[in-house]
Amino acid sequence: MRYFVSKSSAAAATARESSTTKLAKFFPNATPVRIPVRLTRVANGSKALTENTVIEFGTPSEVLFASTLPLEFADTLRLRNADGTLDTEACVVAVQYSGGRTTVAARFTGEVTNWIVKPEL
């Protein structure tokens, strides 16, 4: 039995794909997660910027999320969940702008012992 998908249906499915999902394709070990966090851009000498966001993908050493903050490559971020079990710094390693949204990948600057995504053995 064969099934055909029209080009318009395939295009619609791609359009629905989130910008974070698209960025995750560059991180082969990315695993879908949904972790609400408080994101703070650690600024040198200027006011720190903060927002609530959701980590949508994780690898053993990176997190991927959408942001409304003016983030740039190499910015230092603090990520903290509500109960404080995740409270760590990360450095922006990828930024993708699409349709008014900013999608970010950030790499942990140190070991995160209780991080949910573990390396494969």
Q: Where are the domains of the chain?
A: 18-108
Q: What is the DSSP string of 40-103?
A: EEE-SSSPPEEEEEEEEEE-SSEEEEEE-S---TT-EEEEE-TTSS-EEEEEEEEEEEETTEEE
Which one has a higher pLDDT value, 12 or 74? Answer: 74
3-state SS assignment for residue 57: strand
What pLDDT was estimated at residue 48?
82
Residue 58 CA, chain-centre distance (Å), reads 7
**pLDDT attached to residue 16:** 58
The reported pLDDT for the residue numbered 43 is 77
At residue 82's C-alpha, the angle toward residues 80 and 84, to 5°, is 60
- Cα–Cα distance between 32 and 86 in angstroms, integer? 17
Q: What is the CATH number of domain 18-108?
A: 2.40.10.220
Confidence of residue 41 (pLDDT cuts 50, 70, 90): very high
Q: Give the pLDDT confidence of 67-94 residue by residue, as tens digits.
A: 999 899 999 999 999 999 999 999 999 9
Radius of gyration (C-alpha) of the chain in whole angstroms: 16
Residue in the block written with tokens 């600057």? 109
